[in-house]
Structure 1
Amino acid sequence: MNLKPTIHFINNIAPHYMEPMIYQLLKSEEFNLFFSCGENQNLGIKTVDFSTEKYKPYKNHIDVNIKNIWIKSKYLVWQKGVISKCMLKKKPDLIVLLGEFLIISNWIGAIICRLRGIPVAFRGHGLYGNEGTIKRFIRVLFYKLANSQLVYERRSKGLLINNGLKPSTIHVLFNSLTYDYHKSQREQLKNLSKEEVFPFFKSTKIPTLVFTGRLTKIKRLDTLLTTVKRLQQEIELNLLIIGDGTEREDLENLAQNILKDGTYHFYGSCYDENIMGRLLSKSDLCVSPGNVGLTAIHSLSYGTPVCTHMNYANQMPEAEAIENGMNGCLFEENNLDDMYLQIKTWLIKHPLKTDEIAINCYKIIDEYYNPYFQEKVFLKLAQQNAPIV
């Protein structure tokens, strides 16, 4: 009789964006998953509500009693409860720990697992490519404690290989959002008209650029506004800003001074996925002057291409989902002339989003950025097979 593998997956918290993956792993028929995490004490991030009805069948597989210990409310240095998980009498087939070298308990936990013959994997960013010599050395030393690595992008896998880790031990997990919901909305949203979704624009027959996220300095949204001003001298287009933050008032004042009336709109914060789906799906290009992160996955999931900078050392891993010329465009970081040129070139070739562009956007999501792919990666790890990617 072949028993299903058992996986213990330990995280710092259970961020809300990870819920589709966590739920898919818990209900998997291929393995038994036990998920453990701590409370969201310092991060200000929305987390999964495990008290809901759908989690009742898995209540014995969920432990939210890990105690996270921070320094200056910024650096996570110890997870109380991790060591005991690594010393359980009944050994799991795999333990997944956070791949953060500052967490001392994970160094110790990984060593204990190796001594006990329990395969251990680190899940995290891996190498960014901008580390100094000493920091890179410590990170690589830490990663070598584990049997396997779960990273979010192929680029990080390449960096780890270049620093001495075996290719067969590195698995690309990618990231995912509410994939099933997004996929179910594709046909329904196609029937909406731009007039219905964008009543605040003077004209809806022209391209619409969109940004969604926190309105903070790091997002470089002033550069987006000045680029739109320059573009509007040659191309008619609208700009939609979704989100709120410390820079909103200044950005609204700047837009009022430099952009044409009726061509821009600050929507404010939006946490309603029904509304977000309407706004994103009817936009023609999502632009993020700074790093893009999960916004790229969100936009591509609704069939909308993405434009951001190409310095991957300063990007979030999700930027790798953008295939230049296929489902978006890339520009040189901090080069406003190139940002202007790439957006202009894209809009000249694709003034309005087509079904073909939407299909290009869906393709990468359907192949990799979904919880079903992530489930396969976890299973491969538990079975100690070669990586998928």
Structure 2
Amino acid sequence: MGKLCIVYNFAQLYREPIFKLIDAEWDCDWYFGHNTTDIRGMSPDTLKRTTCVNNRHLVGPLEWQDGIGKLLRDKRYDRYLMLGEPMVLSTWWNLIQCRLFYPKKRIYLWSHGWYGREGFMKKWIKRVFFGLADHVFTYGEYAKQTAISQGFDTEKITPIHNSLNHLKQVGLRKKLSKTEIYTSHFGNNYPTLIFIGRLTHVKRIDQLLEAMSLLNEQGEKYNLILIGTGEAHSELDLKAKQLGIENQVWFYGACYDDNQNAQLIFDADLCVAPGNVGLTAMHTMVFGTPVLTHDDFPWQMPEFEAIRQDETGAFFHRGDVTALAKGIHDWFADHPDREAVRHACYDEIDTRWTPQYQLSILKQIIC
């Protein structure tokens, strides 16, 4: 049996644990593009055999990875695991070559897949693109069901979810116990809301500040800690002052200390992500803090599926500040048992959102 060839846009640091498991499980070669984003990258030297290639921008959203188009001709490989991005034309070229000239080789795509907001043209493009693959791994069940509703073969698609450094996080979790950090900082015993991630406009933290102000008017007060920085930081700072809630908002700033982040999350009561939630859901739930985010799933990230309504979090109507305020109120009114919620969050992440879970899915399909 030949080697497994893996092609990815770049080596993201948060994917290091699953990449290491794959590297240990299969005899594989890795091909990574250069990182041109603000997402932290891992050292490719962490894996056994890696090759860096150039991600070349063509026209509009179209890209090409140099050197990737010839990999189907390499006799060392009989299986390929590739990032499934329809705008990367070199991936199209490999899929077409495989169908026409190398029928015994197998290409597996790992992708967000379907969002549910695609127009007619994007639906058609994705149907053809993913249909050329032997199997598709999506980040969630929602993507799978959306694909099936558009006529995709249910036997060719498997949700694989997402993961962070779960073993490390569980190690940190075992050392945690409740502290008085929020009581000490805020000088009160109000419940503490948290958001961890980049403070960008798409995250709609402004809506959270407005919801807190509305709740203040109703006689309910909450604290908020924002861990991170970004383009919207100064605007949010100003808005908190305009709303008169600046003493209830702690702009903690960016923090890369895993121990400190774990403690801050553990001590908080509810993570609120008014925009799309993404990896934030996994990061907070692994330390026992539930998540409230919007319910417009075509505009969510796949990690929203970790939220089980009224167990590990809840949803509110997207863009509705009144509904957001009600969602916060209802959560605390209906979930007095903090420890029960904490363990429900642990169970969700430990069961379905780990590198080990992802590896088990990959091993079922990639023989």
The two structures have a TM-score, normalised by structure 2, of 0.94
**Which amino acid in structure 1 is aligned with residue 29 of structure 2?**
F
Distance 1:91 1:24 in 2: 19
- C-alpha displacement of 1:247: 2.0
Distance 1:251 1:373 in 2: 38
Q: Does 1:25 align with 2:10?
A: no
The one of 180, 187, 209 equivalent to 2:193 is: 209
Conservation of the 8 A alpha-carbon contact between 1:122 and 1:143: yes
Conservation of the 8 A alpha-carbon contact between 1:208 and 1:240: yes
Deviations 1:168-216 (A, max 9, x none): 2101111101101111122211x241x146632112x321001122222
C-alpha change, 1:90 and 1:247, in structure 2 (3 Å) is closer
Q: How does 1:13-162 map to 2 (within 5 A)?
A: 13-28=10-25, 31-40=26-35, 42-51=36-45, 55=46, 58-59=47-48, 61-63=49-51, 65-71=52-58, 75-92=61-78, 94-114=79-99, 115-116=101-102, 117-162=104-149
**Which amino acid in structure 2 is aligned with residue 132 of structure 1?**
G
Q: SS at the partner of 1:215? A: coil
Conservation of the 8 A alpha-carbon contact between 1:332 and 1:338: yes
Distance 2:184 2:31 in 1: 45
Deviations 1:242-263 (A, max 9, x none): 1112222221122123244642
Distance 1:109 1:103 in 2: 11
Conservation of the 8 A alpha-carbon contact between 1:197 and 1:278: no
- C-alpha displacement of 1:240: 0.8
Conservation of the 8 A alpha-carbon contact between 2:240 and 2:246: no
Conservation of the 8 A alpha-carbon contact between 1:202 and 1:263: no
Q: Does 1:223 align with 2:210?
A: no
Distance 2:281 2:341 in 1: 15
Deviations 1:116-164 (A, max 9, x none): 1111111111111111111211111111110110100101101111222
The one of 302, 305, 310 equivalent to 1:317 is: 302
Conservation of the 8 A alpha-carbon contact between 2:98 and 2:105: yes
**Which amino acid in structure 1 is aligned with residue 112 of structure 2?**
H
The two structures have a TM-score, normalised by structure 1, of 0.89
The one of 278, 282, 286 equivalent to 1:293 is: 278
Distance 1:304 1:97 in 2: 34
**Which amino acid in structure 2 is aligned with residue 285 of structure 1?**
L
Conservation of the 8 A alpha-carbon contact between 1:306 and 1:329: yes
Conservation of the 8 A alpha-carbon contact between 1:38 and 1:66: yes
Q: For residue 276 of structure 1, what is the aligned residue in structure 2?
A: 261
Deviates more, 1:220-229 or 1:160-169: 160-169
Q: SS at the partner of 1:372? A: helix
Conservation of the 8 A alpha-carbon contact between 1:227 and 1:340: yes
- C-alpha displacement of 1:33: 3.0
Q: Does 1:10 align with 2:4?
A: no
Conservation of the 8 A alpha-carbon contact between 2:265 and 2:284: yes
Q: For residue 386 of structure 1, what is the aligned residue in structure 2?
A: none
Conservation of the 8 A alpha-carbon contact between 1:83 and 1:105: yes
Deviates more, 1:99-108 or 1:302-311: 99-108
Aligned residues, how many? 364
Q: SS at the partner of 1:14? A: coil
Q: Does 1:237 align with 2:211?
A: no
Task: Give the superposed CA RMSD.
Answer: 1.8
Distance 2:33 2:280 in 1: 26
Deviations 1:260-318 (A, max 9, x none): 46422110111221111111111100001111110111011111000000111011111
The one of 255, 258, 271 equivalent to 2:240 is: 255
Distance 1:230 1:155 in 2: 33
**Which amino acid in structure 2 is aligned with residue 10 of structure 1?**
V
Unaligned segments of structure 2, at least 5 residues:
none
Q: SS at the partner of 1:102? A: coil
Q: SS at the partner of 2:341? A: helix
**Which amino acid in structure 1 is aligned with residue 27 of structure 2?**
N
Q: For residue 177 of structure 1, what is the aligned residue in structure 2?
A: 164
Q: SS at the partner of 1:27? A: helix
